[in-house]
Structure 1
Amino acid sequence: MSSLLGEKIRRLRTGKGYSLDKLAELTETSKSYLWDLENREAHRPSADKINKVAAALDVTPEYLLSERDVAPDEKIADEAFFRKFRTLDPDVKKKLRKIMDAFDEE
């Protein structure tokens, strides 16, 4: 029997069209570890693993760990985006800001 965490990971992973292999590659972990997360009840992943899985699935770690079984909303997606944005190379951030400024000019 899977946990709510496992169900969320599976739903988000399949929604993005990711195989276990693809998510393992993106999170620098093993396919078997992810399978365990998705399918076993009593699994306690580290904060590092949860952060990597959340980032790969474009959600926040808080969303994955919450006891509520709701689809991620726009607020969750925005928080995940800004967490990724903060880790980008400064040149990439500058380019993204220019793109956003172009939308304001319309």
Structure 2
Amino acid sequence: MENNQGNKLGKKIKKLRTGLGLSQDELARKADVPYTTLTKIETGVIKKPSVYVVAKIAKALNITIEELINSK
């Protein structure tokens, strides 16, 4: 479970982002995080992004951090 968590988060961010019709670049700008950071999180290169970065991404997706990190 713990090992797979990072990739789950990345997949969830990608799913939510595409659901909103946002490109990676658009979400990165909206969340004010570097584009490369976002792509690395989505692809699982960064498995444990900082809470700060996750919070900014969640806010840009209009959801809470809890909704983003809890896989359902």
Query: Any stretches of 5+ residues in structure 2 without a counterpart?
Result: none
Normalised TM-score (structure 1)? 0.58
The share of aligned pairs that are identical, in percent, is: 36
C-alpha distance in structure 2 between counterparts of 1:42 and 1:52, whole Å: 16
Find the aligned partners of 1:52 and 1:43 in 2 and give their Cα distance: 16
Query: Does 1:57 find its partner at 2:55?
Result: no
Bigger relative contact order, structure 1 or 2 (CA pairs below 8 A, ≥6 apart): 2
Structure 1 residue runs without a partner (length 5+) = 71-106
Q: TM-score, normalised by structure 2?
A: 0.82
Q: How many residues align?
A: 68
Regions of 4+ moved over 6 Å = none
2:33 alignment partner AA? T
| Deviation digits for residues 47-94 of structure 1 (CA, Å, limit 9, x no counterpart) | 11111100111111112212x3x3xxxxxxxxxxxxxxxxxxxxxxxx
Q: CA RMSD in A?
A: 1.9
